[in-house]
Homo-oligomer: A and B are copies of this chain.
Amino acid sequence: MKNTPNEWSLLDKIKFRVHRDNPNIVVPLGDDAFVFKNYPGYSVICQDMLVEGIHFNLDYFSPEDLGWKALAVNLSDIAAMGARPHYIHVSLAIPEKLTNSWLDDFYLSMSGLADQYECQIVGGDLCSSKSGVIIDVSIHGSCEKPLTRQGTQPGDLLLSSGPLGLSQTGLIALSQNFPEYEVAKKKHRRPVPRLDLQSLLQQKNKYIHGLIDTSDGLINDSLRLCQEKFGFHVFIENLPIHQDTNKLAFQLGTTPEDYALWGGEDFELLMTVHPDHYEEFSDWHLVGQVTTEPGVFLNDSIRKTEITEFRGWQHFNDFSK
């Protein structure tokens, strides 16, 4: 037979690249749908799309970066539920100019990241795109007790698992083609989902009131944890700011705190806990406190300033969130 659909050989290469043996799989990649045995506890699903020109620019995103990041932003949602990831679907629309080696690099990087968290790519789509690259990833995971955005109480402390504003620092350095800022650039191109915290989170889940990942900046993500019911104060002198952010702010004549307050895509975890339980999370950064009265205030040692103009981090319009 000749002229059987010629995309099959390309798809076979991708299948080879992403295949992993797994005793929980009932019907593997290659059928109408993927079938697996249920994991203990509850099932967890999330899905996130990345669009060229909106979320990333191929001028400074290699195929390896993109494969990594498209998966990492979804793994971060799994981490923000205190869950474990298992199975990944990837839909990819690409312009014809992109080569098979671009695709191979993309899937190699993505499956390498998946391997780090013992999950695997089990299906998806590959389409032509008449314009840019579009990637949509969904993940199926499981958890014993989901850690949600609900449950925050007035008086709770706001804790961050890591530096804030570093990804935006990297984005600016990349888009303006600045040399150096390697840590920030890596944070932007290859964020590391905080799945390393999963066992700690489940072990201490009784202390955690609310949990979210920082995709839209500290202010916007804290607003979500407060569910429009409460206000909060940010301890501006206590913000975890990386030296790359300080350096870039100095170079551009801006204030580094702005990056931490409004910069998105750090993919750290942000939680609310009662002050009595702060010691359980002493490695986390104390960045603010929830208040009964509405309003968002920036507090330093000498004054308290209310924020009245809110800036949206436009990268994500996720309606599931």
Name A's B-contacting residues (CB within 8 A): 1-7, 11, 14-15, 26-27, 29-39, 42-49, 51-55, 77-78, 80-81, 83, 87, 89, 91-93, 122-132, 134, 136, 138-141, 143, 146, 148-150, 211-213, 216, 220, 223, 294-296, 308-313, 316-321
Task: Among B38, B77, B129, point to the contact of A33 (Cβ < 8 A).
Answer: B77
Interface pairs (15), CB distance under 8 Å? A1-B294, A4-B310, A11-B317, A26-B42, A30-B149, A32-B46, A32-B80, A32-B81, A32-B148, A35-B143, A43-B43, A45-B122, A51-B129, A51-B130, A54-B93
Task: Among B43, B87, B129, point to the contact of A38 (Cβ < 8 A).
Answer: B43
Contacts of A123 in B (CB 8 A): 45-47, 319-320
Contact A42 B46 (CB under 8 A): no
Task: Among B2, B11, B89, B295, point to the contact of A138 (Cβ < 8 A).
Answer: B89
Contact A320 B89 (CB under 8 A): yes
Contacts of A148 in B (CB 8 A): 27, 31-32
Contact B47 A43 (CB under 8 A): no
Contact B49 A44 (CB under 8 A): no
Shortest Cβ distance from residue A223 to the other chain B in the assembled complex, whole angstroms:
7
Contact A54 B127 (CB under 8 A): yes
Number of copies of this protein chain within its complex: 2
Contact B124 A45 (CB under 8 A): no
Shortest Cβ distance from residue A309 to the other chain B in the assembled complex, whole angstroms:
6
Contact A30 B125 (CB under 8 A): no
Contacts of A220 in B (CB 8 A): 5
Shortest Cβ distance from residue A17 to the other chain B in the assembled complex, whole angstroms:
10
Contact A320 B37 (CB under 8 A): no
Contacts of A124 in B (CB 8 A): 47, 318-320
Shortest Cβ distance from residue A79 to the other chain B in the assembled complex, whole angstroms:
8
Contact A48 B125 (CB under 8 A): yes
Contacts of A45 in B (CB 8 A): 33-34, 36, 87, 89, 122-123, 138, 140
- Decide: A212 near B32, CB < 8 A? Known: A27-B81, A49-B91, A320-B122: yes
